[in-house]
Amino acid sequence: MATLALDQAPAATLPRGPRLDYQTHPMAKLLFAAIVLGGFAFAGWSVLTDTRGVGEELALGVFAFLGLALLIALGFEFVNGFHDTANAVATVIYTNSMPAHFAVVWSGFFNFLGVMVSSGAVAYSIITLLPVDLLLNVGSASGFAMIFALLLAAVLWNLGTWYVGLPNSSSHTLIGSVLGVGLANQLIQAGSRGGTAGVDWSQAQKVLTGLWMAPLIGFFAALLLLFVMRMLVRKPELYCAPEGDKAPPKGIRALLIFTCTAVSFSHGSNDGQKGMGLIMLILIGCAPTAYALNRTLPASATPAFVQTANIAATTFDARSGGIDLPADQARGVLTNALQQRKAETPQVFAALESLSRDLTARVASYGSLSKVPAEATSNVRNDMYLVLDSTKLATKKPEGYSAGELKALKEYQSNLEAGTRFIPVWVKIVVALALGLGTMIGWKRIVVTVGEKIGKQHMTYGMGASAELVAAATILAADRFGLPVSTTHILSSGVAGASVASGSGLQARTVRNLALAWLLTLPAAMLLSGGLYWVMLNAVRVFGL
């Protein structure tokens, strides 16, 4: 097997590591298999229940296709679990705070909880990077090719970096895959706008900022925190390496278990959302009647939607310059505005006013989103999406709007989001299971890299605590703003920063390999997903699938 070479260091600085060779009990294997099979059965039953509840019968072929897509999406989260979460357990394992086999189960449980309480904001911050035409036609051949291409690219790159023991970022990989599909889609179309119009670069800039800042935040914050801890916490044993297999003092052990728990929980709350967003794309494409709209919203929410929509339409009309557009023409204007990322013209405001009033009239006539008929579902969802994203683009610069107008438009956007951007509870459960169970498989390679191959000396209690406190705090802050961040980058660089602060220095080979993985992941994932998308799209055209 391929592994990273460990730089030579004096034997005294690297004492015998923790035990990592626990044998899994046969009953544990059976329980693991039962949970996996039960999770898939639960997902299938939920899809059948949801679709039949709205009168949507899925053909056997469509159901099988949906099952395959869900399998790959959950596979991504499973790989994410054993790839990323190993970072969370490395510190407690290498400080003897927890036995390895217990630590991974503990971390998996809190990953599960993190997924279950997540908001979904991170999920849609990544999904909105995709090209407008693919999002509006996610159930088309090109839409399915997009989903499979980015999923397979993300899984393949994650598995490749795991195989050589590199703590690669699943967030970094998925974002690269999404960008690759977007660029490939636009280049294949060979339109007059050029390749870059296939990606929302304003959203991409926001998302990528979190990725390039993550290593810097992890390194310098952990370095500074350890310095501060040394000045304020005068407890020498906190800054010592473990002695053999001896567990740390109770207070220090409690601190390290707390930080491991916080990282695991925050990792689940952020990374679990990526799989949710992908699964929602799959469900909308295969079963639009059940999942394109949030049919759980009560009828009592409709009057508030109508009221805010009418206020918004009046605001748009005041800026339309008297232009009158029919709804059919308005859709084309808004689609083009989103592709060009320009929504300040009177024609765009006229289109927003026209489509908002048309959409409001239709929703009001149905009484609620739960009563939208099957044949009208896709049109209502697409119109809500167009108006929502166009309104956000049009109000990106708040100058020229009164405080009352901005408040009304914000409420209108919130109502549109509630109707289109939602995560069913069963999706959260199966993603949480995949991420939590993935924690318990294949964790050893990444744990060894983080625990042994970054710093030149054995990890001390203070190093582990500072790195994990920084990681947990940063991830939870990113959740607040709906930003995807890399647990891997933050924690690995945090370990490096803590190693420097402790005076132990860094192993140049490992740091160089980590930096190389960070630099290569985005372009590699983009090339891989773009190439797969091109192959799949051509296969669809050749075989008429």
Per-residue pLDDT of 125-135, as tens digits, reads: 777 777 666 67
CA distances from 265 to 112, 207, 258, 328, 542 (A): 8, 21, 10, 46, 46
Question: In the predicted model, what is the mean pLDDT of residues 116-145?
Answer: 75
Amino acid 53: pLDDT: 82
- What does the DSSP assignment read for 167-183? ---HHHHHHHHHHHHHH
* Residues near 439 by beta carbon (within 8 Å), at least 6 away in sequence: 81, 82, 85, 86, 89, 104, 105, 107, 108, 111, 264
CA nearest to 419, candidates 353, 362, 487, 348: 362
151-210 pLDDT, tens digit each: 889 888 888 877 776 666 777 788 888 888 888 887 876 553 444 455 666 666 766 776
**443 confidence band (pLDDT: 50, 70, 90):** low
Contact by Cβ (8 Å): 48, 286: no
Instruction: Please state, as a whole number, how many other Cβ atoms lie within 10 Å of the Cβ of residue 425.
Output: 9
* Residues near 235 by beta carbon (within 8 Å), at least 6 away in sequence: 252
Question: In the predicted model, what is the mean pLDDT of residues 431-458?
Answer: 67
pLDDT score of 454 more than 70: no
Query: What b-and-e string marks burial along 173-186, b requiring 16 or more CB atoms within 10 Å of the CB?
Result: bbbbbbbbbbbbbb
CA distances from 151 to 173, 189, 274, 286, 428 (A): 10, 22, 11, 16, 18
Amino acid 437: pLDDT: 84
Q: Which two tokens stand for residue 172?
A: 């970094």
Specify burial of residue 467 (Cβ count, 10 A radius: 0-12, 13-18, 19+): buried
Instruction: Please state, as a whole number, how many other Cβ atoms lie within 10 Å of the Cβ of residue 393.
Output: 20
Specify burial of residue 194 (Cβ count, 10 A radius: 0-12, 13-18, 19+): exposed
Confidence (pTM): 0.79
322-359 pLDDT, tens digit each: 888 898 899 989 988 887 778 888 999 999 999 999 99
Q: What is the mean pLDDT of the chain?
A: 80
Instruction: Please state, as a whole number, how many other Cβ atoms lie within 10 Å of the Cβ of residue 464.
Output: 28
Q: Which residues pair with 506 in a beta bridge?
A: 455
Q: Which two tokens stand for residue 48?
A: 């059948």
Amino acid 314: pLDDT: 92
Contact by Cβ (8 Å): 115, 428: yes
Amino acid 271: pLDDT: 80
Contact by Cβ (8 Å): 87, 218: no
Question: In the predicted model, what is the mean pLDDT of residues 393-406?
Answer: 84
CA distances from 70 to 78, 105, 147, 276, 281 (A): 12, 24, 11, 10, 10
Q: Which of 248-257, 347-356, 453-462, 469-478 has the lowest mean pLDDT?
A: 453-462
Amino acid 531: pLDDT: 92
CA distances from 284 to 31, 51, 534 (A): 32, 11, 22
Tokens 């709350």 sit on residue: 269
pLDDT score of 12 more than 70: no
Share of the chain above pLDDT 90, in %: 14
**13 confidence band (pLDDT: 50, 70, 90):** very low
Amino acid 348: pLDDT: 92
**75 confidence band (pLDDT: 50, 70, 90):** confident
| Start-end of H helices in 453-507 | 461-480, 487-501
Tell me how far apart the alpha carbons of residues 366 and 360 are, in angstroms, rounded to a whole number.
10
Amino acid 360: pLDDT: 92
Amino acid 134: pLDDT: 67
Amino acid 6: pLDDT: 33
